[in-house]
Amino acid sequence: MSEVKRGYVRPLDIKNGRIDLSHGSGGRAMAQLIEELFAAAFDNEFLRQGNDGALLPVPTGGRMVMAVDAHVVSPLFFPGGDIGCLSVHGTINDVAVMGAKPLWLSASFILEEGFPLADLKRIVDSMAAAAKEAGVPIVTGDTKVVEQGKGDGVFITTTGVGIVPEGVNLSGDLAQPGDRILISGTLGDHGMAIMAERESLGFSAPIQSDTAALHGLIETLLTSGAKVRVLRDPTRGGLATTLNEIARQSKVGMMLQEKALPVNPEVAAACEFLGLDPLYVANEGKLVVIVAAEDEEKALAAMRAHPLGQRAVAVGSVHEDPHHFVQMTTAFGGKRIVDWLTGEQLPRIC
Amino acid sequence: MKYIDEFRDGDLARGLSAAIRQIADPARRYHFMEFCGGHTHAISRYGVSDLLPDNVRMIHGPGCPVCVLPIGRVDMAIRLALECGVILCTYGDTLRVPASDSLSLMKAKARGGDIRMVYSSADALKIAQANPDKQVVFFAIGFETTTPPTAVAIKQARALGLKNFSVLCCHVLTPSAISTILESPEVRQWGTVPLDGFIGPAHVSTIIGSRPYEFFAEEYRKPVVIAGFEPLDVMQAILMLVKQVNDGRAVVENEFSRAVTRDGNVKAQNLVAEVFELRRQFEWRGLNVVPYSGLRIRKEFADFDAEKRFPVAYVSVTDNKACECGAILRGVKKPQDCKIFGTVCTPENPVGSCMVSSEGACAAHYTYGRYKDFQ
Amino acid sequence: MCLALPCRIVAIDGENATIDVSGMKKDISLALMDDATVGDYVIVHVGYALTKLDPEEAEKTLALFAEMGEAALHEAAREIH
């Protein structure tokens, strides 16, 4: 019999292994999972400290932003992304729309007993790649395991911190009458990509999720000098929800031009088929910008120069309205309001 | 999208708007009812009313099968899921309809009912095949457009020898509803409905053809124009109706000629006749009991009738007293006339049938048009 | 009611077909129709084709819209002068 090397530790069976309760119990199995899977993928100087909390340098000047987001998307893997990169992009975006430079992320995983390690590795590698590309390391994390049936494979919660430099002031209550409303690209890609994957609806379309980290685009926009009042990323509930939120916060009304709304033809067709409205479908890589009217062209030019903003376009204006309605001139010529979403948008027969 | 986008063209809309304005007689008012919820939705969603002259008014009719589905029927579906343990397959539209005991199908799902949304009756069949040890019930709602797909599913279930598939049939008929609007005794209570004509349903008509409407045109001397679903179709139909009224004619015209013929889809009609028969009467939410307006499964296919297989009987449930849906469905009152519109009764918490579906008159006005109430 | 869409048939397999709308594809049933062929446009509701869309009639209808509209706009322009 050949000698077994001293100090040999049987590695995780990524190919066939599954999460079991021992991976969450705090013992050796969990330590191995963290070391061989998470730490190996996310590796950075802070993680290497190996403590319960990450020791981080305190930046001087400016104000700090902190944001948190939980990700429960199903299916876990979809065209254009997965729950892993989504969780990195989503929180980076929440920090960046405040005008902050995102600095660090934390990631907490709730894993379901029986979840395949191969899938977990795919997700973790995707997160690592997204974090690296964005230049925002994952500096601390946590893992828990729940019994089979009590979780949808995996839930990921990420928290992000960033610093807003002096002189930058963005907030949902700063929109003013006369401002222009811009959007960085096409609407509804993410939501419809997810719908297409849900086999119970049985349609296939070449739609990719638009999940992306927007801090680079935002930086380009802010350094252009355009007087930006509000930045938001229109995720759940779509553009309609985001605009209604801003209208309420800023106590203004809005008027959109339906003809200006950018929607990919496959997304429009899929929405039409299911009776959904692209205005309410989720996006994960788009930016809503409310900017002073005189800086509209400057802002658009800045965004269009960036890969994520090539289809940036103006879609409407802000005006006085004591009722804070978001209205729209339809492509047909008539008017309607774009109201708050009622419940969840469900495919309909009627 | 071909055959869709062209029928939404804003330039053509302006032209038709001018045409309507030109022939509408300024000395009179025109009231047209669009029967079908899909038309109500199109009118609201595209703001078609803004393109009509002030003396041409659209009245929203009861052609929304979700809106007219009585609470008692939804209760049956909920009981099937919660008490009989079936897999209840339903179209997305019904999930939020409020039923008795503060439940809805969605809330029943949260309580543990196995309630699944399907896009098609064929999907319900697949679920039955995939779950041979569970009973699967398909909650079949809809007008004549949606009935043939249910008929096909039942026949396929028989061909496959499925023992665990049945249908809760709540299909209703368009012509009976139109009669009720024009005829019912309650109309006398509210005064005659000032209706000058109807816009006939688009897709129902692809199935039943234009022939069934000839009766209304002749008997009640009201013109009917069958219109496609796109906003240009609606405007053209309004133009044709105004012309008929001006000329004193009352005939059936077909604007949706690209999909509707006089005879309709005979194959689909025969399939429906094979599997279903008329109920003597059926309760409609907001319109009360309407004779010969609903379908039930024939005894030859009783094996697939959920009402025969399970001990769930229909119990009538009355609507809230403050709800004005009955009058609104008949076109006698507007959503804004209802005391609880927009306050107690909203799309989030619908009290009556007109608010329940996005096509109901109240829901459509609230979601797309209520800004006008403040102008 | 009756959300239904004109879709192009791109493949037929017995009583089923695959339709396409601007790149979005779905499998549907042809059980309610006879004599559909690849390339036809059909109106699809809840996964079933209800009827064929007649391209000639569609063109005629659009032409009618344009004709009605132009005549009216001309008339309106005349009345202003």
**Mean pLDDT across the stretch A120-135?**
97
pLDDT band for position B192 (50/70/90)? low
Chain segment B274-330, per-residue pLDDT in tens: 999 999 989 888 777 888 899 999 999 999 999 999 999 999 988 888 888 878 877
pLDDT band for position B193 (50/70/90)? low
Nearest to A179 by CA among A187, A170, A191, A167: A170
Please give the residue that has the higher pLDDT: either B44 or B232: B232
What per-residue confidence (pLDDT) applies to B177? 81
pTM value is: 0.90
Q: Is the pLDDT of residue B184 over 70?
A: no
Chain segment B234-243, per-residue pLDDT in tens: 999 999 999 9
Considering only alpha carbons, which residue of chain B is nearest residue A200?
A: B118
Element (H, E) at A101: strand A101-112
Rounded-to-10 torsion of CA C8, C60, B227, B250: -150
Q: What is the DSSP string of C52-66?
A: E--HHHHHHHHHHHH
> How far is Cα C81 from Cα C71, in angstroms, rounded to an integer?
16
Contact partners, residue A206, CB within 8 Å, separation at least 6: A79, A266, C23
Q: Are B197 and B58 in contact (CB under 8 A)?
A: no
**Mean pLDDT across the stretch A15-27?**
89
Kindly report the nearest CA distance between residue B18 and chain C, in angstroms. 5
Q: Is the pLDDT of residue B188 over 50?
A: no
Please, what is the Cα angle at B39 between B37 and B325, to 5 degrees? 35
Lowest mean pLDDT among A214-223, B36-45, B244-253: B36-45
- Inter-chain CB proximity C62 and B7 less than 8 Å: yes
Q: Are B209 and B257 in contact (CB under 8 A)?
A: no
| Residues on chain C touching A272 (C-beta within 8 angstroms) | 5, 21
pLDDT band for position C1 (50/70/90)? very low
Tokens 């204006």 locate to: A317
- Pick from B12, B37, B201: which is nearest to C69 by CB? B12
The mean pLDDT of chain A is 93
Domains parsed from chain B with CATH numbers? 5-64+175-254 (3.40.50.11750), 71-169+264-309 (3.40.50.11740), 325-368 (no CATH)
Put simply, the chain A residues between 151 and 210 with a CB less than 8 A from any chain C CB are: 202-206
> How far is Cα B282 from Cα B174, in angstroms, rounded to an integer?
13
Half-sphere exposure of B309 (CA within 13 A, CB side): 22
Kindly report the nearest CA distance between residue B349 and chain C, in angstroms. 21
- Inter-chain CB proximity A349 and C2 less than 8 Å: yes
The mean pLDDT of chain B is 90
Q: Where are the alpha helices (DSSP H) in B57-135?
A: 71-82, 105-110, 121-130
Kindly report the nearest CA distance between residue C3 and chain B, in angstroms. 7
Contact partners, residue A67, CB within 8 Å, separation at least 6: A91, A94, A95, A98, A159, A160
Chain segment A286-343, per-residue pLDDT in tens: 999 999 999 999 999 999 999 999 999 999 999 999 999 999 999 988 899 999 887 7
Q: Are B305 and B297 in contact (CB under 8 A)?
A: yes
DSSP label of A4? P
Q: Are A347 and B117 in contact (CB under 8 A)?
A: yes
The mean pLDDT of chain C is 92
- Inter-chain CB proximity B206 and C8 less than 8 Å: no
Q: Could you tell me the two tokens for A230?
A: 């509000």
Q: Are B55 and B26 in contact (CB under 8 A)?
A: yes
CA distances from B331 to B33, B195, C10 (A): 8, 8, 43
Contact partners, residue C31, CB within 8 Å, separation at least 6: B152, B271, C15, C48
Q: List beta partners, residue A256.
A: A316, A328
- ipTM given for this complex: 0.93
- Inter-chain CB proximity C26 and A265 less than 8 Å: no
- Pick from A259, A332, A350: which is nearest to B47 by CB? A332
pLDDT band for position B54 (50/70/90)? very high
In three-state secondary structure terms, A109 is strand
> How far is Cα B1 from Cα C44, in angstroms, rounded to an integer?
14
- Convert A177-211 to b/e letters by CB count within 10 Å (16 or more is b): eebbbbbbbbbbbbbbbbbbbeeebbbbbebbbbb
Chain segment A81-125, per-residue pLDDT in tens: 999 999 999 999 999 999 999 999 999 999 999 999 999 999 999
Q: Could you tell me the two tokens for A287?
A: 């930016």
Q: Are B91 and B118 in contact (CB under 8 A)?
A: yes
C11 touches chain B (CB under 8 A): no
Domains parsed from chain A with CATH numbers? 21-164 (3.30.1330.10), 180-337 (3.90.650.10)
- Inter-chain CB proximity A273 and C46 less than 8 Å: no
Nearest to B117 by CA among B128, B106, B132: B106
A270 touches chain C (CB under 8 A): yes
Residue A314, number of CB atoms within 10 A of its CB: 18
Please give the residue that has the higher pLDDT: either B34 or A200: B34
Interface chains of chain A (3 or more CB pairs under 8 Å): B, C
What per-residue confidence (pLDDT) applies to A78? 93
| Residues on chain C touching B15 (C-beta within 8 angstroms) | 65-66, 68-70, 72-73
Chain segment C17-63, per-residue pLDDT in tens: 999 999 899 999 999 999 899 999 999 999 999 999 999 999 999 99
> How far is Cα A169 from Cα A63, in angstroms, rounded to an integer?
10
B93 touches chain A (CB under 8 A): yes
Q: Omega before A165 cis (within 30°)? A: no
**Mean pLDDT across the stretch B260-267?**
97
Q: Could you tell me the two tokens for A166?
A: 């002096």
Q: What is the CATH number of domain C4-80?
A: 2.30.30.140
Q: Could you tell me the two tokens for A78?
A: 């979809």
